[in-house]
Amino acid sequence: MVELKHDLKAIELLNDRALREPGCDRGDGLGFEQYAEVLAGVAVGTPGPFVVGVFGEWGSGKTSLMRLVEDRLNSVENRVLTIWFNAWRHETAEHPIVPLIATIIHGIERAEKNVWEAWGQWKPQIKTLRTLAERFSARAG
């Protein structure tokens, strides 16, 4: 921190990095803990399928909120497998479903063994996802 003259108090603003991203070593500075708790509870307590949308302007904390939700879901033993997908990185792709499917497959394959055992065998689902990705890729070519 910079030392200032004339008894001026230095104030450090929050940086523009989402929680758990490189360069961000702070906790929840936006007061999203309660929202994250509710969203995680909804995810594990509501029979699916269902969709939850998180909307906000750029820099409003959507990614930080989702990281907090992810932390809570990852703490649910043997019930939840979270897979992080940055959709904005693929917004110009003709078929963004392909990188989404690839990310899901990779997430399932690298999951800890106890998650696999709790959810049963994933091989048929992975085969189905790979087939979908190949079909979309063939259309793009």
Tokens describing residue 31: 């007061």
24 confidence band (pLDDT: 50, 70, 90):
low
The answer to whether 122 and 116 have CB atoms below 8 angstroms apart is yes
Question: Which pLDDT score, from 0 to 100, does residue 133 have?
Answer: 78
Q: State the burial class of residue 71 (Cβ atoms within 10 Å of its Cβ: 0-12, 13-18, 19+).
A: middle
Q: pLDDT tens digits, residue range 55-88?
A: 999 888 888 899 899 989 988 876 788 888 988 8
Q: State the burial class of residue 69 (Cβ atoms within 10 Å of its Cβ: 0-12, 13-18, 19+).
A: buried
**Distance (Å, rounded) from C-alpha 65 to C-alpha 28?**
9
Q: pLDDT tens digits, residue range 84-139?
A: 898 888 888 887 888 888 888 888 777 766 565 655 566 777 778 888 877 777 66
Question: Which pLDDT score, from 0 to 100, does residue 26 have?
Answer: 60
Q: Which residues contact 61 (CB under 8 A, 6 or more apart)?
A: 18, 30, 32
CA-based nearest residue to 13, from 31, 30, 32:
30
